[in-house]
Amino acid sequence: MILMPHVDSLQENQTRKTYSRVNMSILRHISLAFLFLTLISCGSDEVKPDTTDTKPIKLEYKNNNEQNQAVLNDNQGSKEQGISETERLQRAAEINAELGIAYLQRGDIEKADLKLAKAYRQNNESVAVNLGLALLNEKLQYNDKAEKYFLEAVRLEGRERAASAHNNYARFLCTQGRYKQSEQFFKIAFANKLYQQREISYTNAGYCAFLAKEYDKAVEYYRQALSNNKIYAPALLNMAKLFIAKDQMPLAKAYMDRYKIVGAKTPDSILIAYKIEKGLGNTAEATTLFNVLKINYPDAKQTHEAYMVEFSKKDKTADNKKNE
């Protein structure tokens, strides 16, 4: 995944170069872990941020122990270069923010809270720190506090460098059903031509439009995402889901086939494929996919939804035979 340029949060111009590598690393992981992963859900029309539940693409946080150690070593070496105490605290804040976000992604809320609180004490004027605290409070469902930190991260990031903070806040607004407000912040992120992960924003915006049942708008956003990255798996999967909702199964299958080439096999993707084959009348293929869910993911919500689809179809068939 390409790193995002110009998303550092430091206020002093002379320190930006020093910390840009750390900041971009942090915001990249925020982007990968929380933007589209919390929005794309096939089992429900409700968007709920969750890093433990199975999603169409599982949490892709990679082990960054080596990277963190390199940053820490670099931080220790910087003392020899005569950096100021302010600069040292700013760098330490970025490191603690990254560690806090990593703990949050792994479900260790207590350690995430400790690291992010420490980072905030070290530098409360950081995009990454405020964004990490926003995500933590969102996870804990302290939505008022989450919004406070989101707004601060957005302010610090600014319109001209709008990227991860604007995108995350837009996603948060979408989870609250505030679709119009959400779209406004997505559009600010789209406008930044230097934001090289715009496919994430476009996909999130598309899913938000989908939830608002603005299907034509959702299609346009997904197409923009695929224009930015034609093999972006979440956009392909969501296109398939959208065309199921529109009862256009051949189109849904076309996007599902493209997804299978580049995307992971997950309960969500299997459920979508099952619904498509069921809708096309391909009974054998649908049964195979249904069995995959039952055997491999017996307790997943997607499997329960497949059961509902399977038996509702059988009930309708039985009723039709009775009426003949």
Q: What is the mean pLDDT of residues 120-145?
A: 97
Q: Find out whether 149 and 117 touch, Cβ atoms under 8 Å.
A: no
Question: CA torsion sign, 119 to 7 to 173 to 139?
Answer: negative
pLDDT of residue 3: 27
pLDDT of residue 193: 86
- Is pLDDT of 319 > 70? no
Q: Find out whether 272 and 255 touch, Cβ atoms under 8 Å.
A: no
pLDDT of residue 313: 63
The fold adopted by the segment(s) 1-196 is 1.25.40
Q: What is the mean pLDDT of residues 222-247?
A: 97
pLDDT in tens, 195-204: 888 999 999 9
pLDDT in tens, 67-92: 455 445 445 544 546 789 999 999 99
Q: Residue 162 — very low, low, confident or very high, per pLDDT cuts 50/70/90?
A: confident
Q: What is the mean pLDDT of residues 94-103?
A: 95
pLDDT of residue 222: 98
- Is pLDDT of 219 > 70? yes
Q: What is the mean pLDDT of residues 29-50?
A: 40
- Is pLDDT of 54 > 90? no
Q: Residue 41 — very low, low, confident or very high, per pLDDT cuts 50/70/90?
A: very low
The more confident residue out of 201 and 13 is 201
pLDDT of residue 81: 63
pLDDT of residue 299: 95
pLDDT in tens, 263-298: 999 999 999 999 999 999 999 999 999 999 999 999
Task: Give the separation between CA 9 and CA 144, rounded to whole angstroms.
Answer: 23
- Is pLDDT of 183 > 50? yes
Q: Residue 211 — very low, low, confident or very high, per pLDDT cuts 50/70/90?
A: very high
Q: Residue 324 — very low, low, confident or very high, per pLDDT cuts 50/70/90?
A: low
Sequence spans of domains, the chain: 1-196
SS3 label, residue 234:
helix
Q: What is the mean pLDDT of residues 213-235?
A: 97
Give DSSP secondary structure letters for 62-101: ---HHHHHHHHHHHHHHHHTT--HHHHHHHHHHHHHHHHH
pLDDT of residue 189: 92
Q: Structure tokens of 6?
A: 């110009």
Task: Give the separation between CA 51 and CA 58, rounded to whole angstroms.
Answer: 9
- Is pLDDT of 43 > 50? no
Closest CA to 46 of 176, 223, 224: 176
Q: Find out whether 271 and 293 touch, Cβ atoms under 8 Å.
A: yes
Q: Residue 206 — very low, low, confident or very high, per pLDDT cuts 50/70/90?
A: very high
